[in-house]
Structure 1
């Protein structure tokens, strides 16, 4: 990838020598600014032989031309190649995995598939290939350089936490983080990468809004659809990037509240309570979560929706013998997003697009991390019976919801880094155009 920035001579006094000197000064000023911006975004100042070499994936060079016609104007920012990185196929990647269950301490027992005897390993050796371009494998050094001095929060359920654990393992090739949590509760962890002043945190909020157990067993949940969950909304303004997710928990028994009154119930069969499905609750929960973020109005913050990741139970539901024993990905023509998976995904997109329009008016940035199609094609990546929680003697259902580590979920960091690079290039181009024009 090569960006060519050409700066014209400025119109001005008819005196040619003055104009030439003015042009050189202007070119020098713009040159310095352009170099600083592109170098920062491309993370090319750390441990590289060439100033403009980012890594093996791309190179950036800058050329200046003071021989342009005086009346010419600066050309528009070179467009970022259009490619839907979220549509494609899984292809073999013999170089994977990039960490193991013995080199990363952040793999929890119920995701440690190899530790508990999974006989196959091919599920770890695939990468996502978009239809119209390449998706580079996650580079931990580049990611940390982009995140230097910044912070990122994962808000949602255990799949979001699964994502953060995967990222910690991938980043371990560059640096291990220090635990800077405010609590011993693993649902609210904070990790700091000291050499980069980068903080990463997780906030447990499976419904995104305020919710509480009705009974000690958690068999029924009160979900307050119009109330912020202050466990994360009170702290989220500290973070530069917020990745939110949700889905699986809305398929459970729930009591829905609005304005402190019961408005419906799912799977509870209570007298004098209107039966309600998860659809409306799911929609309103996301709407309230976005409202919380927009109302805080952090101008430099970026909100990222990581879309729903389908489960893959076959031969029964999760508590009735369902399993996920496949050992290879589907091809894109072998699986279709349908049923409740499609409904969850579609509602997420509708509410995201609705919130994005509101956010733009306030100068906020919303980005879509669309993992749904890619993960629909990975029935082979779940723990199934090879994920054990600490209570090994307890009979547990097969896990076809979470993801083995290492495994397919590592690709989410590939997506995320590519998105950050693209957004950085766009932001730099926009900034330069504003200054020049």
Structure 2
């Protein structure tokens, strides 16, 4: 005891400065938000159970209480008040950024942090009370130029040039007039005032990549018209952007975290890297920003589809990276995220949603055998209910189902994959702002630079938000 007291008394000043700096950095982004909200409890979600591989409704699973998460460093993460002490206990860890490199690379060794998530097999048994009466994710698209679009592109102050297809010259507007019709039931009609009442005094935060950012922009467009101009504001803060509605004491936010865990791609603007390096056991940088939100909407997928990724664990001192497949890396990241959910989410107080894969339409041959090209110049949805594109990876869906099914009622799944698969007509293609000049060769071949990943607004992401509205 005396030896410890002696060390404590002579603790180096620089270590203390490091600790204060880290604590301040993490808490700074929260300080402007915390005073803006009141504490509110939530009613338990009544979304039914089911396998999202079979396009069933958003679901809540059951999970008994588990022990605290134990990190790779062997330190329990006990909750918000103790997370600052985590750095003090394990030492200062240099964060990843766009300048991070690997000194060398070896194959992935199978090393993992110890997870708090129960890895027992999940039973497929359902109680009689959980019999599904409506599958909101199975159905068809119906042309409806009376009720849709839900807003005009030009009226949305927060529209992105990446998604404003009409502004950038798209001549056909048919993509705006399709309504999703679930099988044997109806989606709740969108009502912005009712949505704001659900959000009163709360923080709604979207966390993920540019597809998730598109859903966030869609939500702003759906909501902003009911807020007086002098009662709304937006505060861009690089990774975290916050829209405030003062008369509802509410915020709708977006946090850039494309791999969910810490990575060298976390710069919201400059994130094009030759190699992607992530810290699979590093969730604190992002979770310190999202943990105080009342409603969280996560996504992650396309960034894992671009080849192998490199792992740089928190306790690796020599910058030796391990290479792993994109799917393997995603599973590790999802497990770290699931550990956070397990230890931090009370479904009576916080609602968490995970949005499944947003499909791409990169090969016209998939819906029109023998044809060349991609989604460019497509003007109609796919009407074959059995259609499934190669861009939606079934092994990834199975992995997600395995991870998410362990989280019980803590997470609800928005299965947007199948319904979005049909919308080959809904992408920006060439009708968006491109950040780099396009040469004559590309301009002569529109399909060569068509964006078949993101979605025009108004359009498909509006339906994703209608589904979110349905389940809140």
Smaller-chain TM-score range?
A: 0.5 to 0.7
Does the CA contact (< 8 Å) of 1:152 and 1:239 recur in 2?
A: yes
CA change 1:100–1:134 in 2 (3 A) is: same
Q: Choose which of 298, 302, 305 in structure 2 pairs with 1:251.
A: 305
Determine helix, strand or coil for the equivalent of 2:282.
strand
Paired position in structure 1 for 2:277? 222
Checking the alignment, whether the CA contact within 8 Å between 1:88 and 1:332 is kept in structure 2 is no
2:261 maps to 1:209:
yes
From 363, 368, 373, the counterpart of 1:314 = 363
Answer whether contact 1:191 1:200 (CA < 8 A) is retained. Answer: yes
- The residue that corresponds to 1:113 in the other structure is 165
Structure 1 unmatched ranges of 5 or more: 1-39, 42-77, 266-275, 421-437
Equivalents in 2 of 1:344, 1:370: separation in Å? 13
Whether the 8 Å CA contact 2:375–2:424 is kept in 1: the answer is: no
- DSSP-derived class of the 1:305 partner: strand
The alpha-carbon distance between structure 1 residues 133 and 294, as it changes in their structure 2 partners (threshold 3 A), is same
Q: Hey, what does 1:174 align to over in structure 2?
A: 226
Aligned residue in 2 for 1:383: 428
Aligned 8 A contact 1:212 1:221 in 2:
yes
The TM-score normalised by the length of structure 2 is 0.63
1:226-241 → structure 2 map (5 Å cutoff) = 226-230=281-285, 232-241=286-295
Q: CA deviation at 1:413?
A: 1.5
Shift of 1:216: 8.4
Contact 2:175 2:459 in 1 (8 A): yes
Bigger radius of gyration among the two: 1
- Which residue number corresponds to residue 143 of structure 2? 92
1:145-160 correspondence runs (5 A): 145-160=197-212
Structure 1 moving runs of 4+ over 6 Å:
78-81
Across the aligned residues of Structure 1 and Structure 2, the Cα RMSD in angstroms comes to 3.0
1:314 deviates by 1.8
Quick check: 378-387 or 207-216, which moved more?
Answer: 207-216
Structure 2: 5+ residue stretches without partners: 1-41, 44-128, 367-371, 443-447
Deviations 1:244-297 (A, max 9, x none): 0000001224212345455642xxxxxxxxxx3212111111111121233334
Q: 1:340 to 1:86 in 2, by over 3 A?
A: closer
CA contact under 8 A between 1:233 and 1:293: conserved in structure 2? no
The answer to which of 199-208 and 79-88 deviates more is 79-88
Q: How far apart are 1:338 and its partner, in Å?
A: 5.1
**1:102 aligned counterpart, secondary structure:** helix
Structure of higher RCO (CA pairs closer than 8 Å, 6+ residues apart): 2
Q: Does the 8 A contact of 2:360 with 2:392 survive in 1?
A: no
8 A contact 1:224–1:260 mirrored in 2: no
What is the CA distance between 1:316 and its match in structure 2? 9.2
The answer for the alignment partner of 2:325 in structure 1 is 277
1:249 and 1:380, CA in 2 relative to 1: closer, same or farther beyond 3 A? same
CA distance in 2: counterparts of 1:217 and 1:91, whole angstroms: 38
Residues 163 and 410 in structure 1, CA contact (< 8 A), matched pair in contact too: yes
Q: Distance in 1 between matches of 2:389 and 2:364?
A: 18
The answer to whether the Cα contact below 8 Å between 2:201 and 2:249 also exists between their aligned partners in 1 is yes
Shift of 1:97: 0.9
Residue 209 to residue 316, structure 1, CA distance change in 2 (3 Å): farther
TM-score normalised by the chain length of structure 1: 0.67
Using the alignment, how far apart are the partners of 1:391 and 1:240 within structure 2? 38
Secondary structure in 1 aligned to 2:243? strand
